[in-house]
A and B are shown apart, each in its own frame.
Chain A
Amino acid sequence: MPDFLLELRSEEIPARMQAGARGELEKLFRRELEAANVTPGDIAVWSTPRRLALIARDLPVATEATREEAKGPPVGAPDKAVDGFCRKNNVAREDLEKRDVKGRDTWFAVIEKPGQQVADLLAAAIPAIIRDFSWPKSMRWGEGSISSESLRWVRPLSGIVALLDGEVVPVVLDGLASGRETYGHRFHSARPIAIDNPDDYATKLREASVIVDHEERADRIRTGAKEAAQAAGLALVEDEGLAIENAGLTEWPVPLLGRFDEDFLDVPPEVIQLTARVNQKYFVCEDAANDGENRLANAFVCTANIAPANPDVVVDGNRKVLAARLSDARFFWELDQKKTLEQHAEGLERITFHEKLGTVADKVDRVAKLARWLVESDVIVPAKTGTAVGGSSGQQQIPASAGMTKKHLADLAEQAARLCKADLVTEMVGEFPELQGVMGGYYAEKEGLPQEVADAIRDHYKPVGQGDDVPTAPVTVAVSLADKLDTLAAGFFPLDQAPTGSKDPFALRRASIAVLMLLERNNLRVGVYDAVKHAMMGLSVWKDNYRFLTARVSSRLKDMAVVTPDQIGRYGGEPLVLMRNMKVADGERPQITDAKLLSLPQTQGNLLDFLADRLKVQQREAGVRHDLIDAVFALGGEDDLVRLLARVKALQSFVETEDGENLLAGYKRAANILKKEGWDAASSVTPAQAGAQNVEDQPGQLGSRLRGNDDELEQTGEEDPLALAGKPEFDAAIRETGHPDGKSLSYSPEPAEKALIDALAKAEPTAAQAIENEDFAAAMAALASLRAPIDAFFEDVTVNDENPQKREARLDLLARFRDAVHRVADFSRIEG
Chain B
Amino acid sequence: MARAMTPATPPTLNRASDTATPRRDPTRSFQDMILTLHDFWAAAGCVILQPYDMRMGAGTFHTATTLRALGPEPWNAAFVQPCRRPTDGRYGENPNRLQHYYQYQVILKPSPGDIQELYLGSLRAIGIDPLRHDIRFVEDDWESPTLGAWGLGWEVWCDGMEVTQFTYFQQMGGFDCKPVAGELTYGLERLAMYIQGVDSVYDLDFNGRGVSYGEVFLENERQMSKWNFEVADTDGLFDLFAKAEAECRNALDSDVPIAAYEQAIDASHIFNLLQARGVISVQERASYMGRVRDLARSSCEKYAEMMAPEWEAKFPGWTL
Residues of A at under 8 Å CB distance from B? 11-12, 14-16, 49, 137, 139-148, 154-156, 158, 186-188, 249-250, 280, 282, 302, 304-306, 308-310, 313-314, 316-318, 320-322, 324, 350
Contact = CB atoms under 8 A, between A and B. Distances in A.
Nearest to A302: B160
Interface string B167-179: 0101000001111
Interface magnitude class on chain B: 35 or more
B71 to A, nearest CB: 10
B160 A146 contact: no
B20 interface: no
B178 A188 contact: no
Interface stretch (B56-64, B126-134, B241-249, B266-274): B126-134
Contacts of A350: 282
The 8 closest A-B CB pairs, nearest first, are: A317-B159, A14-B139, A12-B137, A318-B160, A145-B180, A145-B179, A304-B134, A146-B179
A143 B73 CA distance: 11
A317 B180 CA distance: 34
B277 interface: no
Contacts of B168: 139-141, 155-156
Interface string B284-320: 0000000000000000000000000000000100100
A308 B136 contact: no
A331 to B, nearest CB: 9
Interface in B128-153: 130-139, 141, 151-152
Contacts of A16: 139
Given A12-B137, A304-B134, A317-B194, A142 B72 contact: no
29 contacts: A12-B137, A16-B139, A140-B170, A140-B177, A140-B180, A141-B110, A143-B110, A145-B177, A146-B318, A148-B176, A155-B152, A156-B111, A188-B131, A280-B160, A282-B160, A302-B160, A306-B130, A306-B131, A308-B132, A310-B132, A313-B133, A314-B133, A316-B159, A317-B158, A317-B160, A317-B161, A317-B194, A321-B160, A324-B96
Contacts of B130: 186-187, 306
Nearest to A351: B282
Given A11-B137, A139-B151, A155-B168, 11 more contacts: A16-B139, A137-B141, A143-B110, A145-B177, A147-B178, A156-B113, A186-B130, A305-B136, A306-B130, A306-B131, A318-B134
- Summarize B's interface: helix, strand, loop or mixed: loop
Given A14-B139, A139-B180, A148-B176, A305 B134 contact: yes
A139 B170 contact: yes
A800 B134 CA distance: 92
A317 B112 CA distance: 31
B250 interface: no
Residue of B72, B111, B134 with most partner-chain A CB within 10 A: B134
Nearest to A304: B134
Contacts of A304: 134
Interface string B214-242: 00000000000000000000000000000
Given A16-B139, A148-B178, A322-B160, A142 B134 contact: no
Nearest to A11: B116
Contacts of A14: 139
Given A137-B152, A317-B160, A308 B134 contact: yes
A154 B137 CA distance: 14
A305 to B, nearest CB: 6
Interface in B68-101: 72, 96
B199 interface: yes
Contacts of A309: 131-132
A282 B136 CA distance: 14
A91 B189 CA distance: 72
B68 to A, nearest CB: 15
B160 A142 contact: no
Contacts of B116: 11
B41 interface: no
B191 to A, nearest CB: 12
A49 B156 CA distance: 14
A306 B134 contact: yes
Contact of A142 (B113, B133, B135, B136): B113
B253 to A, nearest CB: 30
B154 interface: yes
Contacts of A314: 132-134, 159
Contacts of A316: 159
Contacts of A317: 133-134, 158-161, 194
A433 to B, nearest CB: 17
Contact of A49 (B131, B132, B137): B137
A148 B317 CA distance: 12
B182 to A, nearest CB: 8
A589 B168 CA distance: 64
Contacts of B158: 317
Contacts of B160: 280, 282, 302, 317-318, 321-322
Nearest to B112: A142
Contacts of B139: 12, 14-16
B110 A145 contact: yes
Contacts of B161: 317, 320-321
A137 B133 CA distance: 30
A143 B131 contact: no
B152 A139 contact: yes
A195 to B, nearest CB: 21
A188 B134 CA distance: 12
A313 B112 CA distance: 32
A792 B141 CA distance: 79
Nearest to A135: B152
A11 B135 CA distance: 14
Contacts of A188: 131
B284 to A, nearest CB: 12
Interface in B153-211: 154, 158-161, 168, 170, 176-180, 182, 194, 199
Contacts of B141: 137
Contact of B179 (A143, A282, A313, A318): A143
A675 B158 CA distance: 81
Nearest to A306: B134
Contacts of B318: 146
A482 B113 CA distance: 59
A653 B256 CA distance: 83
A141 B159 contact: no
Nearest to A280: B160
A650 to B, nearest CB: 55
Contacts of B134: 304-306, 308, 314, 317-318
Contacts of B113: 142, 156, 158
Contacts of B131: 187-188, 306, 308-309
A304 B160 CA distance: 9
Contacts of A11: 116, 137
Given A309-B132, A310-B132, A321-B161, A146 B137 contact: no
Residue of B113, B132, B139, B178 with most partner-chain A CB within 10 A: B139
A772 B132 CA distance: 78
A146 B110 contact: yes
Nearest to A175: B113
B260 to A, nearest CB: 26
Nearest to A309: B132
A640 B109 CA distance: 69
A758 to B, nearest CB: 77
Contacts of B179: 140, 142-146
A140 B178 CA distance: 9
Given A16-B139, A308-B134, A309-B131, A146 B72 contact: yes
B196 to A, nearest CB: 12
Contact of A146 (B96, B135, B154, B315): B315
A132 B164 CA distance: 32
A142 B159 contact: no
A206 to B, nearest CB: 19
A147 B158 CA distance: 35
A274 B151 CA distance: 28
A249 B136 contact: yes
